[in-house]
Structure 1
Amino acid sequence: MIPDNISSDISSLANIMKILGDPNRLHITSLISRQELCVCELTAILGLSQSNVSQHLAKLKSSGIVKERKQAQWVYYSLNPEKFPIIKNIINTLPDISFELLKLNGLQEHLKCKK
């Protein structure tokens, strides 16, 4: 029989893998591991609807993968590496997507959440 603490760790890791199994959530996680972003910035980069991005962020946040910081009416998301250091290893195996963050430079004046 597996001890409870190990069983809990395995279950927690399986849940993380399930959440990151969605390509959009994995993509979002990779982006916010490089830079703190808000929903409107993620929407602009990914080409997804605001509600779709918000739903993905809610799942990532509920699992503890993502943390948020509120500034005025905006919420900014970043990776929570303290909780799940293995996520950094997963992200390091992904292709470099930092060029996508460069899109924001041209879009800054069109975004509602200008930093």
Structure 2
Amino acid sequence: MLQTATDIEKASMLLKLLGDKTRLSMMKILDSQACCVCEFVEIFQMSQPAISQHLRKLRAIGLVNEERKGQWIFYSVNKEHGDYPFIQQILSQLPNQDDKLKELEERGTRITCC
């Protein structure tokens, strides 16, 4: 429950960040499995720099973790983030996005970078 102006400011900032359809979809996908940039390029049919920019914004406030595997970086939701319970409530209301990853698997492009 939000109690102070600071909490309202933080909630407003988080909602603005998640107000972008691509970032919101990324967060929903990352809440259940880690993905690399190349997978998001395939899913969203966007350029690698555009995907990286979205991830940079999510990383900047610590909402996503990154894990290096060889030359590739995989991203996942930072469930230890202090605001994760608030974000998780939002994500839980969204439709499942697993079909996007399943489609990549069926096309054989689930992890094209590895």
Class of the TM-score when normalised by the shorter of the 2 chains: 0.7 to 0.9
Q: Report how far residue 110 of structure 1 moved.
A: 7.7
User: Residue 87 of structure 1 corresponds to which residue in structure 2?
Assistant: 87
User: Residue 102 of structure 2 corresponds to which residue in structure 1?
Assistant: 102
Q: Structure 1-normalised TM-score? A: 0.85
1:28, 1:16 → 2: CA distance?
14
8 Å CA contact 2:66, 2:74 repeated in 1: yes
1:18-77 CA-partner distances (Å, limit 9, x unpaired): 100111110111111111000001111111111110000000110211111111111100
2:54 to 40, 52, 56: 56
- What are the equivalent positions in structure 2 for 1:1-115 lying under 5 Å apart? 6-83=4-81, 84-105=84-105, 106-108=107-109, 111=112, 113-114=113-114
1:20, 1:11 → 2: CA distance?
14
Say which is worse superposed, 77-86 or 99-108, in terms of deviation.
99-108
Structure number with larger C-alpha Rg:
1
Give the aligned CA root-mean-square deviation in angstroms: 1.8
In structure 1, give the amino acid aligned to 2:95. Answer: P
Structure with greater proportional helix content = 1
1:53, 1:98 → 2: CA distance?
19
Say which is worse superposed, 102-111 or 26-35, in terms of deviation.
102-111
In structure 2, give the amino acid aligned to 1:93. Answer: Q
1:108, 1:22 → 2: CA distance?
25
8 Å CA contact 2:39, 2:110 repeated in 1: no
Q: Structure 2-normalised TM-score? A: 0.86
How many residues align structurally?
109
**What residue ranges of structure 2 are gaps of 5+ in the alignment?**
none
Large movers: runs of 4+ above 6 Å: none
8 Å CA contact 1:16, 1:63 repeated in 2: no
